[in-house]
Structure 1
Amino acid sequence: MSIAEARDIPILRQPLMPPSPPRASPDMGLFERMAAMRKNAIATWGQRSYEEDVIKVGFLGRSTFILNTPDSIRHVLVDNYENYSRTPAAVRVLKPMLGDGVLTAEGRNWKHQRRTLAPAFTPRAVDTLVPHMVAATDATIAKLHAASTGPVDLREAMQRMTLEIAGRTMFSFGMDRHGAALRDFVMEYGTRLARPHVLDMVLPLGWPSPQDISRRFFRKRWTRFVAMLMAERRAAGKNADAPPRDLFDLMGAARDPETGAAFSDEQLGDEVATMILAGHETTATALFWALYLLALDPATQEELASEAMAGNGAAQIERLKFTRAVIDETMRLYPPVFLIARGANGPDVIAGLRVRKNDIVLVSPWLLHRHEKLWRDPNAFIPARFMQGNPPDRFAYLPFGVGARICIGAHFALVEATLALAKIVGAFRVELLEQEPVLPVGVVTTQPDRSPMFRITPR
């Protein structure tokens, strides 16, 4: 779909305008902006960020560029991607949880991991994991039936469900015994250590910030926990003649097609942590926002329910076209990863502007997906945008990134989210019990500022 077509989708009824944070005042000062970033980076962007093609600002002798045109984004993330790497702040925030997994690795190490992991995430490999997804979703629906007489926290339910899916698809066992500990790790890190401090942005990586000391202690405890999960899975064994039954089998058997090298135990632990955390948390967030939007838009919810119930609960991803469109539109409005930050390794020119070594380049799916030059009614919830037969410009819609570093688990996440949303909305009518709007908060992922209560009614 061209940008012009994306802006000209016919609207047959008044669309829902979901809530979003107020846009920053143009008078917001530098230190005020930096303080606000720790609470909600989304709220630091003003109106011009949603209108202009490229924005350049200076900070401590470096320039920061916000890119909002497909051509400039293609240049940085595809054509000249080797000139750009993760910023020191991103490395400080992500590595204690993800180590040197495929999401954080750079250079030759990243290429080795990407080549080695690729066979585990092909559509055929993901198909073998669908029964795990369906079983965990059905178990969640059974629990929701038991709780449907009172208020329900669907955000918590989605987190528990996607954690269960992560456990079953990774290890072939449920997370009943380990789920609480895993959630504690995620919550501890998200509330205490994942929010970037100004020192995270200005200190060289070799100079530890006060936050880094706490992050190192956290990492020691976290890696011991992941090693325990791996040991438990290994103790369960594997039939040598049987096909792989989960991601752990697939990743353990993976070999770099160029070198034949397998993952070491430490590397495998980082990949396990990456797949569990990146997949579980982002998918739970996307499902929460989808259910929230459908509760605000009952007509769209009923259209999705009709599609879901037409298949009598069968897990047929190909026929869930409207459900997939709702997921796509949800991730446009509330992209799980709201910001991609890169540091320039050398000089470059972007959109006619000179970039120097160590300058920062920002590509924000939050801004891009709501940019007034790229989308018609950019702040409206219109799943029909994704029902036109042609996808949007791939450099204007980045729920999973783009280029060589596009999320390796994108297909897995889309299958999981589409099947789960269809089964849940096919089973329940979802309503909000609260009038106060839920606002997105950008800290690593696009989280809701609170967990609203829902009423669910069996269909």
Structure 2
Amino acid sequence: MNIASVRRPIIPPTPPRAPDNLSFFGRLAVIRQNMIATWGQRAYEEEIIQGRFFLHKSFILNQPDAIRHVLLSNYQNYTRTPAGIRMLRPVLGEGLLLAEGHAWTFQRRTLSPAFTPRATANLVPHMTAVLDETIAKLDVRTNEPIDLREVMQRMTLEIAGRTMFSFGMDRHGPTLRNFVMEYAERLGRAYFLDMVLPVSWPTPMDRARARFRTRWTEFVAMLIAERRAAGKQDGAPPRDLFDLMDEARDPETGKGFSDAQLVDEVATMILAGHETTATALFWALYLLALDPDTQEEVASETRGEHLDSMADIDRQKFTRAVVDETMRLYPPAFLVARAARDKDVVAGAKVSKGDIIMIAPWLLHRHEKLWDQPNAFIPKRFMTKEAPDRFAYLPFGAGPRVCMGAPFAQAESVLALARLIGAFRVELADATPVIPCGVVTTQPDHSPLFRITRR
């Protein structure tokens, strides 16, 4: 994909690439701190890299046709790895992201109506109300150092709370954020035994995760009880995602979600909806602070727009390209790992039962055979007629298990970025380079301070 650029694009900082001969135990030592720092130059140049993971082979796939085979053509042959299940089950339970087989089919069919473009459009007023409040709060903090990552986390959490429950998160937000931080800092990191033992064999960290899950599900159940107590008028249209999910029925069986299932679905939507969007918005603001010219293009596109409907959001073509390019450089899910249920052939390579397939959007989105200037920030690459291969750009996954909430996340991200940059000029007040870390999601190694001024 060739991109012509009038000026030299910025290249944001990244962790040093690992030596290609890094030992297995050396790689394990790095994984817990920053998974994306374990890959060497070969991983950014070759289409398929074969290795070993204990008794099984492992494959890193950077070839779109091979990825299409695993995620679409033969997706039923590939399931989550034991380590992946251990990392996600305590916070997501048996929700849509982890469900398999008939359970996944039931959940997908039942939830689909809640995430149509029309349903998303009905939730835009919740987003705009939170953005109005956020901008008003930022107005009194201009010209002073500010942690915009924390602001984005609070803002997207508030949007998640209102779109899910129609109530603010002033009381519950700090508790929810504490849950997220507690899990990410310790329990969400993969330890040696997490990767080598079957899921049925609990590790020491699994016991700690089980205790966390008990507290976490009790908290989510309390939120649901509070929302149900608020009620809904008979015959009134759904006013939030909870109404849509609570009333959802499988079109084939007529069944809805049990209370336990609803807890896992709500937990999945809140976490997937707020944390990944907050991180994507942080990275977008960081990139625009590094690139003032591109920031001014976003502000220029936004000028004079009301930005309070899906039609307004759809007109922000350049802002959407900035969001797309941000998620190329900093994909929320930096790694998708799958274990083969049975033997297969992928791009000519023989795959045996139990072999590990790794599709790393971090690598794929920066691969030297797939992208021109792969490490550079060039939003206009997404405004050309030459679109990237569908399986070379995976910010929301692909195939039957593509993220159902992608339209919602994209609308929220474009709306928030357009409104914020339309209101404020954003600069960095901290010269320390921000290094991306692969821990659950693609997170910054620290939260830099910004300075904002009113336009």
> TM-score, normalised on structure 1?
0.98
Q: Which residue of 2 aligns with 1:122?
A: 116
Match status 1:408 vs 2:399: no
Please list the CA deviations of residues 21-73 of structure 1 after superposition, one character each: whole Å capped at 9, or x if unmatched: 11001232111100100000000000000000000001212111000000000
Q: Which residue of 1 aligns with 2:64?
A: 70
Match status 1:165 vs 2:185: no
Q: Which residue of 1 aligns with 2:46?
A: 52
Task: Tell me the percent identity.
Answer: 66
Deviation at 1:192, TM superposition (A): 1.3
Runs (4 or more) in structure 1 with deviation over 2 Å come to 312-315
Candidates 312, 317, 336, aligned match of 1:321: 317
Candidates 214, 239, 243, aligned match of 1:245: 239
Partners of 1:286 and 1:429 lie apart in 2 by 18
Paired residue type of 1:274: T
Please list the CA deviations of residues 56-94 of structure 1 after superposition, one character each: whole Å capped at 9, or x if unmatched: 001212111000000000000000000000000000110
Deviation at 1:131, TM superposition (A): 0.3
Deviation at 1:157, TM superposition (A): 0.2
Match status 1:440 vs 2:436: yes
Match status 1:99 vs 2:93: yes
Candidates 346, 350, 359, aligned match of 1:350: 346
> TM-score, normalised on structure 2?
0.99
CA distance 1:178–1:50, shift in 2 (3 Å)? same
Deviation at 1:203, TM superposition (A): 0.3
Deviation at 1:391, TM superposition (A): 3.2
1:250-289 matches, cutoff 5 A:
250-289=244-283
Q: Which residue of 2 aligns with 1:3?
A: none
Paired residue type of 2:248: A
Check conservation: 2:307, 2:415, Cα contact below 8 A: no
Deviates more, 1:224-233 or 1:26-35: 26-35
Check conservation: 2:53, 2:356, Cα contact below 8 A: no
Deviation at 1:313, TM superposition (A): 4.6
CA RMSD of aligned residues (A): 0.8
Q: Which residue of 1 aligns with 2:424?
A: 428
Partner SS state of residue 407, structure 1 = coil
Partners of 1:300 and 1:211 lie apart in 2 by 44
Candidates 228, 234, 237, aligned match of 2:222: 228
Match status 1:331 vs 2:296: no
Partner SS state of residue 90, structure 1 = helix
Candidates 33, 37, 58, aligned match of 1:43: 37
Paired residue type of 2:128: V
Match status 1:149 vs 2:143: yes
Match status 1:453 vs 2:449: yes
Candidates 405, 413, 417, aligned match of 2:413: 417
Q: Which residue of 2 aligns with 1:17?
A: 11
Please list the CA deviations of residues 91-148 of structure 1 after superposition, one character each: whole Å capped at 9, or x if unmatched: 0110000000001111110010000000000000000000001111111111111111
Match status 1:202 vs 2:212: no
Partners of 1:262 and 1:436 lie apart in 2 by 50
Partners of 1:340 and 1:59 lie apart in 2 by 16
State how many pairs are aligned.
453
Deviates more, 1:381-390 or 1:330-339: 381-390
Q: Which residue of 2 aligns with 1:363?
A: 359
Partners of 1:58 and 1:281 lie apart in 2 by 33
Paired residue type of 2:208: S
Deviates more, 1:303-312 or 1:79-88: 303-312
Partners of 1:142 and 1:336 lie apart in 2 by 28
Deviation at 1:290, TM superposition (A): 0.1
Q: Which residue of 1 aligns with 2:382?
A: 386
